[in-house]
């Protein structure tokens, strides 16, 4: 299945605030997510239905709806689950 990527304005702004090397690293992870989104760690409890991708000290939280991957959060690991 071919997946499409959807970023909210909030996640787009968060991505653009990062320095260039980190931004490029996260964009590479987007490619991996689109190839096989179910290979990433599913989250539990309040975040059931969401998945997590680790990018160094950052986390990309996303959900899958049919053929669209919605990137919900891009945040430092200290802040992401609060």
Residue 82 belongs to some domain of the structure: no
Question: Residue 81 pLDDT more than 90?
Answer: no
CATH of the domain at 35: 3.30.2310.20
Domain that holds residue 30: 4-71
Mean pLDDT of 47-63: 96
Domain count of the fold of the chain = 1
Task: Give the pLDDT confidence of 9-26 residue by residue, as tens digits.
Answer: 999 999 999 999 999 999
Please say whether the beta carbons of 37 and 61 come within 8 A: no
Residue 25 belongs to some domain of the structure: yes
36/20 Cα distance (integer angstroms): 25
Residue 14 belongs to some domain of the structure: yes
Q: Of 5, 57, 56, 74, which is closest to residue 34 (Cα–Cα)?
A: 5
When pLDDT is cut at 50, 70 and 90, the band that residue 50 belongs to is very high
């Amino acid at each position: 299945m071919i997946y499409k990527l959807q970023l909210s304005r909030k996640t787009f702004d968060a991505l653009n605030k990062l320095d260039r090397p980190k931004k490029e690293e996260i964009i590479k992870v987007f490619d991996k997510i689109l190839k096989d989104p179910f290979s990433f760690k599913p989250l539990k409890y309040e975040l059931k239905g969401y998945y997590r991708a680790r990018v160094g000290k950052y986390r990309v939280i996303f959900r899958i709806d049919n053929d669209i991957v919605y990137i919900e959060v891009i945040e430092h690991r200290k802040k992401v689950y609060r």
